[in-house]
């Protein structure tokens, strides 16, 4: 199933890029993709917080480029030292944000409860939220993929479900933990079956609207595998880490057909 919304090519820059490097990368991407981005696609850049303002400036005239944050704290404002609120991100031009990335779950210890609060708060604040889910290698070996994906979806969307979400403002990224940053991409059959489980669960949760929620694949997407992934059923975009840090590789992924 392909949704009517545009295919999303998202680049997660993680904790990389100084200000000057970020500006250069955004400028080069806008240049490279000015006339090469297929009409049905949008590009989302997710720089570190420190580079959001500069990247917003670089992208101000770039067509179909969007800006997003890798994280935020789910509160309007307050005594939360070191944290950033959604409205501060929107002030800088962000329209999108991630929640539940595996590095935040597994390195920083974020729980499904906090992730659920972030998704609901971000949506209510007017951000397009991308909820990341995915199984570890052990869970896959134990045959628990479907169980893990359903569980992370149900828990991650618990609070959003009650908040009358417009499906266009929510995306899910399927990112098997064992494929992130390892160079080991999931097989097309694994992506197809995981995305089918996600689609079915979304339809159970949101009825007809579940069919309109974008499902992205993430995990070692590179220029040489992007086209084959993007044409799969229920794949409505990709979330790219390592290969989004260079303009030539990310532009090649965004333009891959």
Which one is catalytic: 103, 110, 135, 175? Answer: 175
Site for ligand PEP (CB under 6 A): which residue of 110, 135, 175, 247?
175
Please confirm, yes or no, whether 101 is among the known catalytic residues: yes
Asked if 122 interacts with ligand PEP (CB under 6 A), we say no
Please confirm, yes or no, whether 128 is among the known catalytic residues: no
For residues 11 to 30, the per-residue mask of contacts with ligand PEP, x marking binding by CB under 6 A and - elsewhere, is -x------------------
Asked if 240 interacts with ligand PEP (CB under 6 A), we say yes
Closer of 52 and 238 to ligand PEP (Cβ): 238
What DSSP line would sit under the chain, residue for residue? ---SSPEEEEEE-TT---HHHHHHHHHHHHHHHTTTS-TTEEEEEE--GGGHHHHHHHTTT-TTEEEEES---SSSSSS-TT---HHHHHHTT--EEEE--HHHHHTS---HHHHHHHHHHHHHHTPEEEEEE---HHHHHTT-HHHHHHHHHHHHTHHHHTT---GGGEEEEE--GGGTTTS-PPPHHHHHHHHHHHHHHHHHHHGGGGGGSEEEEESS--HHHHHHHHTSTT--EEEESGGGSSHHHHHHHHH--
Asked if 9 interacts with ligand PEP (CB under 6 A), we say no
Q: Report, in Å, the least distance between residue 204 CB and ligand PEP.
A: 26
Q: Report, in Å, the least distance between residue 130 CB and ligand PEP.
A: 10
Which one is catalytic: 96, 101, 128, 195? Answer: 101
Asked if 181 interacts with ligand PEP (CB under 6 A), we say yes
Site for ligand PEP (CB under 6 A): which residue of 9, 116, 241, 252?
241
Catalytic residues: 101, 175
| Chain residues that interact with ligand PEP, rule: CB under 6 A | 12, 175, 180-181, 218-221, 239-243
């Amino acid at each position: 199933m392909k949704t009517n919304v545009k295919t999303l090519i998202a680049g997660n820059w993680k904790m990389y890029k100084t200000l000057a490097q970020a500006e250069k990368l955004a400028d080069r991407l806008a240049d490279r993709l000015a006339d090469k981005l297929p009409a049905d696609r949008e590009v989302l850049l997710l720089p570190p917080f420190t580079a959001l303002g500069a990247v917003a400036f670089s992208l101000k005239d770039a067509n179909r480029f969007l800006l997003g944050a890798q994280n935020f704290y789910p509160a309007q404002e307050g005594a939360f030292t070191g944290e950033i609120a959604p409205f501060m991100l929107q002030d800088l031009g962000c329209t999108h944000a991630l929640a539940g990335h595996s590095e935040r779950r597994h390195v920083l210890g974020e729980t499904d409860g906090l992730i659920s609060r972030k998704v609901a708060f971000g949506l209510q604040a007017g951000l397009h939220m991308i909820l990341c889910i995915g199984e570890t290698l052990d869970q896959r070996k134990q045959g628990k993929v479907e169980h893990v994906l359903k569980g992370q979806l149900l828990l991650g969307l618990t609070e959003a479900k009650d908040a009358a979400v417009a499906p266009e403002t929510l995306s899910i990224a399927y990112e098997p933990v064992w494929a992130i940053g390892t160079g080991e991409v999931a097989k097309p059959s694994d992506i197809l079956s995981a995305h089918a489980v996600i689609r079915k669960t979304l339809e159970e949760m949101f009825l007809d609207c579940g069919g309109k929620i974008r499902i992205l694949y993430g995990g070692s997407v590179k220029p040489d595998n992007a086209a084959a992934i993007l044409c799969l059923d229920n794949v409505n975009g990709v979330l790219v880490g390592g290969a989004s840090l260079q303009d030539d590789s990310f532009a090649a992924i965004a333009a891959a057909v």
